[in-house]
Amino acid sequence: MTDDAIRCRTADAADAEFCLGQDSAVTQAYVTRKIEAGECYVAESGGAPAGYLRIEMMWGLVPHIGIVQVADGVRVKGVGRALVEHVRGLMRAKGERFLFSSAGAADEGTRVWHEKIGFEACGEIRGVLEGEELEIFYRLKT
């Protein structure tokens, strides 16, 4: 019998290749810096990498999920939720009141996912990303 429990932890240098494979919008040097800063997290299921989450500190102060990505074959099994809950606890321990995230208005699946796991819409910005008319921001009380 295999252990399919989801285990989340801060990424380390050995996770760089997996993280970069999940986060193709950024460079290897960027992922390496984020790992060194302790702002990348990995979920494992059955002993294998299953998901990735990267934090950005908006204005150097406000924790925002830059990306949460679940590996093919393990989606819809709670990996993304586990990563968010792990980071939520870490942010709470640091004294942060909220964890923020965002999604393009046209990306209904991501918007629904945010709301399903407890995020609340808290604002929107137009013209943030090329090709996205509207970005909706969400916050989750830590």
Task: Please say if the pLDDT value at position 63 is more than 80.
Answer: yes
Helix (H, G, I), strand (E, B) or coil at 35: helix
Mean pLDDT of 103-120: 93
User: How far, in Å, CA of 83 to CA of 94, rounded?
Assistant: 17
C-alpha to C-alpha distances, 92 to 24, 40, 73, 86, 87, nearest whole angstrom: 29, 17, 31, 10, 8
* pLDDT given for residue 132 in this prediction: 66
Of 61, 70, 59, the C-alpha closest to 91 is 61
Predicted TM-score (pTM) of the model is 0.90
